[in-house]
Amino acid sequence: MTHDNRYYRARIQTIVEHTPYYQGQEKKWLQNGFIPESMREDFDMWIKARMHDKSDDPLSFVELATYSTWFAMHPEKVAGKMVGGSSLFFPVVVKGTRQDVEKIHKAAMADTKTAVSPLLEMLIVLLKTRNI
């Protein structure tokens, strides 16, 4: 599901405001930006209620890095599915397969080639024109 920047700003605010009301693993999950399925319906309602006064300007680096916002925006970049765990130091884990990792890697390589190819072509033309 694609959301605009107002949604992600409201998501950050909702997590900040509601995290103190949770304890244990649920609190750890929220502190890491993970909203489990059991809490998702309530959080979606609270997020939508806060969106009306938020800006749709591009998110700052701090906003992108807060509560795993970048990963919430780009779930296709996660090699598997994020799930809540019980580890003290890693309360959120990614469960995936080798195929998930290979799929992400192939997509990243394809993005790199499409972004770099025009630059390489220009460099080759430049080098040829200068007889280098």
Q: What is the pLDDT of residues 13-54, one digit of tens each?
A: 999 999 999 999 999 999 999 999 999 999 999 999 999 999
C-alpha span between 82 and 101 (Å, rounded):
14
Q: Are 18 and 43 in contact (CB under 8 A)?
A: yes
Burial class (CB in 10 A: 0-12, 13-18, 19+), 7: buried
* pTM summary value: 0.77
pLDDT for the residue numbered 114: 63
Question: How large is the angle between the packed helices 37-50 and 5-18, nearest 10 degrees?
Answer: 110
Largest CA distance in the chain: 68
pLDDT for the residue numbered 104: 82
Alpha helices for 3-87 (secondary structure H): 5-18, 24-31, 37-50, 61-65, 69-73
pLDDT classification of 127: cutoffs 50, 70, 90 = confident
Q: Output the six-digit token pair for 94.
A: 């990614």
Q: What is the pLDDT of residues 61-73, one digit of tens each?
A: 999 999 999 999 9
Q: How far is CA 84 from each of CA 3, 92, 93, 112, 114, rounded to the nearest angstrom?
A: 23, 5, 6, 31, 35
Q: What is the pLDDT of residues 78-123, one digit of tens each?
A: 888 999 988 888 899 989 898 888 888 788 777 766 665 666 666 7
